[in-house]
Amino acid sequence: MQLAIAGSAGLLMTGAGVAAEATRREWGSGLEGQRKADRGDGTFLNPIMAGDYPDPTILKDGDDYYMTFTTFESYPGLILWHSRDLVNWSPIGPAITKPMGSVLAVDLCKHNGRYYIYIPIVATSISTFSGRSRVFVIHADNIAGPWSEPIPLEITGVIDPGHVVGEDGNRYLFTNGVQRVKLTPDGLAADGTLEKVYDGWKFPDEWLTEAYALEGPKLLKRGDYFYMISAVGGTAGPPTSHMVIAARSRSIHGPWENCPHNPIVRTVDPQEQWWSRGHATAFEGPNGKWFMVYHGIENGFRSLGRQTLLEPIEWMRDGWFKALGGDLSRPLRKPLQLADQSHGFALSDDFAKNRFGLQWNFHKPQANEALRVRYESGSLVIAGKGTSPTDSSPLACVAGDHAYEISVDVELGGAAEGGLLLYFNDRLYVGLSHNGTRMSTFRAGKIDRWQENAPAMRRFRLRIVNDRHVVTMYYSRDGQPWTRHGLRQEVSGYHHNTGGELVSLRPALYSGGAGECRFRNFSYRSL
């Protein structure tokens, strides 16, 4: 099977990468009802990436900007996005396709004309390496790929790499902690051992945070100084946890001086719109203006995950910088006014084109998961796996709206069971499915004990409405009117603080049992 995505060989076989401009033409413009940052009046309103796009790493490459995010155990992963105005973003494709473990916060950089992504992977049951975590690198001569196979750097036990070239011309990675290791000139191996180089900035103990958690160091050179921007406070827990701090040094070897204005960004009041803001990268934007990108949790919508925020910054006379956006609840001026800017792509999918790695990603797949899937006559056919969504590796996509509805046509083959879900992880999901004989509804990751009768059927359409955390489910048989099915459910608690994973509640397709399910006409509509 061959599925046309931009990336390297692995879970899904691919050819050469697709150019960013061609990608924008293919997917068109607009999210068709999904939340957009661009207000169309010269301003934008955060988030610039609505939904679960955490730990952003951004690269300025001439007039182009590229960004990717943590994707954990969703594969294909590390989807690359392109923009010129920092507000409207279009997907290029995934940089990794072969399941290796849980992908945490990466660093995207360019050195001597070549692109690199430094990738920390936490070992899972499918990993071929032992130990808690290991840092890998992939590289490409074109941002759209093909990307190399992941190369182990023999750096273990750390996460959150940040690449920088020192005043000595050598390449280094900084990691959580903050530790540092020298790299070989080609950037493909460690040239030494990790050493502790920075203790961080200590906030008052009475501040309500999840933990101290010094992590996510991102480095840049400006003028006479190297600047290191880090996160402390923990990414979940209380709303006032995560924050952005800065330090600087005249040498990559230190000593590091903490910014007297720390924290640069922090949620100080749970009434603010954006909580736990952190994991920032500072960079030069269009027209010489400077910005930070980082993630935050939307007040009242933890289930959407950590969303990507853009904030202008200003350099001061003392050589430090300050954030200008406040709590980011108000519109801000766009960095650049450009006509004909595309933003994302429509989630609605007739399966005439495949969108693996752009829209659809397997959750916790095995190495051969792609063998379950084929495109056929405008439909997506998925072989059954497991006995419930818990052990089925559903196919999921990121949603960023407060209220939306999803629906899909399902046709059962053999002894299959097909369903439509709102899926957080293999322990926490809601939805409904049918095995040809009976309908099942799911609540909190289990079959609901309260079940309604539904007719036996092999072809049907399923629909789920998520209206600001209130979920209502429906089915339709052979084009007949919708029938509401099961109990209404409230899902505001489907997030990390209760579910134990830093992901989001996502629309998903479920194919279980011994046969296969044919899906057609997936529809996503913002309410």
Task: Kindly state the tokens that stand for 312.
Answer: 């202008």
pLDDT tier at 1, thresholds 50, 70, 90: very low
Q: Which residues contact 400 (CB under 8 A, 6 or more apart)?
A: 34, 35, 47, 49, 50, 51, 304, 307
- Cα–Cα distance, 81 to 499 (Å, whole number): 28
The DSSP code sequence of 318-347 is: TS-EEE-STTS-S-EE-S---SS---S---
SS3 call for 275 = strand
Helix (H, G, I), strand (E, B) or coil at 239: coil
Rounded CA separation 252/519 (Å):
54
Q: What is the pLDDT of residues 49-76, one digit of tens each?
A: 999 999 999 999 999 999 999 999 999 9
What does the pLDDT look like over 160-207, one tens digit per residue?
Answer: 999 999 999 999 999 999 999 999 999 999 999 999 999 999 999 999
Dihedral sign for Cα atoms in the order 115, 7, 184, 131: positive
Contacts of 110 (CB under 8 A, 6+ apart): 59, 61, 116
Mean pLDDT of 232-248: 97
Per the listing, tokens 């093909």 go with 146
CA distance 497 to 49: 22
- Name the nearest CA neighbour of 106 among 68, 155, 144: 68
pLDDT band at 320 (very low <50, low <70, confident <90, very high): very high
Across the range 255-264, mean pLDDT stands at: 98
- Which CATH code of 3.40.50.10320, 3.40.50.720, 2.60.120.200, 3.40.50.10360 fits the domain covering 361-526? 2.60.120.200
- pLDDT reported for residue 16: 31
DSSP character string of 435-463: -SS-EEEEETTEE-SS-------SEEEEE
Task: Provide the pLDDT for residue 339.
Answer: 79
Is-contact 120 158, C-beta < 8 A? yes
Q: How confident is the model at residue 11 (pLDDT cuts 50, 70, 90)?
A: very low
Within 13 Å and on the Cβ side, how many CA atoms surround 62?
4
**Is the pLDDT confidence value at 9 over 90?**
no
pLDDT of amino acid 179: 98
> Position of tokens 């502790």?
196
Residues 6 or more apart whose Cβ sits within 8 Å of residue 437: 456
Buried-state track 20-52, b at ≥16 Cβ within 10 A, e below 16: beebbeebebebeebbbbbeeeeebbbbbbbbb
The confidence score (pLDDT) of residue 18 equals: 33
Domain range list for the chain: 20-35+42-333, 361-526
Query: Rounded distance, CA 415 to CA 434, Å?
Result: 11
The region of weakest confidence among 134-148, 313-327, 329-343, 398-412 is: 329-343
How many angstroms separate the CA atoms of 394 and 147, rounded?
26
Instruction: Give the separation between CA 458 and CA 411, rounded to whole angstroms.
Output: 6
pLDDT for residue 159: 98
- Please choose, from the candidates 309, 196, 197, 319, the residue with its C-alpha nearest in 3D space to the C-alpha of residue 252: 197
Phi, psi angles (nearest 5°) of residue 499: -95, -15
Q: Which two tokens stand for residue 138?
A: 């992939």
CATH code of 20-35+42-333, in short, is 2.115.10.20
* Res. 21: pLDDT tops 50: no
Helix-strand-coil percent breakdown of the chain, rounded to 5?
5, 45, 50
Q: Identify whether the C-beta of residue 307 lies closer than 8 Å to the C-beta of residue 300.
A: no
Tell me the sheet residues that pair with 443: 446
Residue 293 near residue 282 (C-beta atoms within 8 A): no
Give the pLDDT of residue 6.
32
pLDDT digits (tens, 9 = 90+) for 429-487: 999 999 999 999 999 999 998 888 999 999 999 999 999 999 999 999 987 899 999 99
For 292-330, b/e burial (b = at least 16 CB within 10 A) is bbbbbbbbebbbbbbbbbbbbbeeeeeebbebebebbee
Please give the single-letter amino acid code of residue 349.
D
* pLDDT tens sequence across 120-139: 999 999 999 988 899 999 99
- pLDDT tens digits for range 484-509: 999 999 999 999 999 999 999 999 99
DSSP state of 372: G
pTM of the model: 0.93
Averaged pLDDT for residues 412-436: 97
Q: How far apart are CA 307 and CA 49, in angstroms?
A: 6
**Bridge partners of 471?**
466, 489
Name the average pLDDT for the chain. Answer: 92
Flag the least confident range among 11-25, 98-112, 211-225, 367-381.
11-25
Question: Reduced to 3 states, what is the DSSP secondary structure of residue 390?
Answer: helix
> What distance, in Å, lies between the first and last C-alpha atoms of the chain?
37
In percent, the amount of the chain with pLDDT more than 90 equals 87
